[in-house]
Structure 1
Amino acid sequence: MQETENSQLSPNDTPPGIAPWAVYILHLGSLFIGLTAVIGVIVAYMQRRDAAAWVQSHYQFQINTFWIGLLIFAVAIITMPLYGLGFLLGVFLTIWLLVRCIYGMRQLNAREPIPDPETWLFGWSRSG
């Protein structure tokens, strides 16, 4: 009976577990304590292989969020003395991170994959 029920589940009916939620929360926590993003990306790398395909898209999105965010953060630090450019990049980084994490959690809650996990922007796909 259990096998029949499991075979009728669509891939998106597979529960994501706690790890992808934790990674999004750790990324958000990095706005206050940067080390949490490092912990989050390690968790994403460790969990990605064994996850359902739709959850793997979230892990890829989270991994990209870490690396792109780290790059923007480094550029912001380097350009800090240039008439506030670094500050503006920091504001952009904060908004970018918030949007990516909120969108990712929304998709995760709906048990939907990230349509474009490789994007540098926000992950949703263009329709039409």
Structure 2
Amino acid sequence: MISRRTCLALGLAAGLSACFGSGPEATVKGFYAAVAAGDTDKAIGFLALQSVSANEMIMVKGKVQMMVAAGKTQIDANGGLQDVQIVSQQEQGEAALRVQLQVTFKNGKTDTDNMNLVKEKDGWKIRL
């Protein structure tokens, strides 16, 4: 017989894996959460940058920092981020997707966005 503690641990593990999974929706939600927090380094972790050289990375970091600042400003102006959902996705080959998102802000406003994602060895990443 499984103890209550074991059931609780399994349920918690399943719940956490659903929240922090490596699927496309987890990638998109994680990226938007990083932008809402103004965390450039965390946002960069959701981007497909395997082919970027060390010299190019300096320029990429600067551009992402500006993008995160602008995104955070928009999110803050709308009362914060409430939810991000993928409303449609199209396969673009075996390991690539084009997704349409609906972003819901805490003031009730919504916005749509499109992103290209690519599956890398460590999960789905956003292609710039």
Query: Under a length normalisation based on structure 1, what TM-score does the superposition of the two structures give?
Result: 0.33
Higher-helix-fraction structure? 1
Query: Under a length normalisation based on structure 2, what TM-score does the superposition of the two structures give?
Result: 0.33
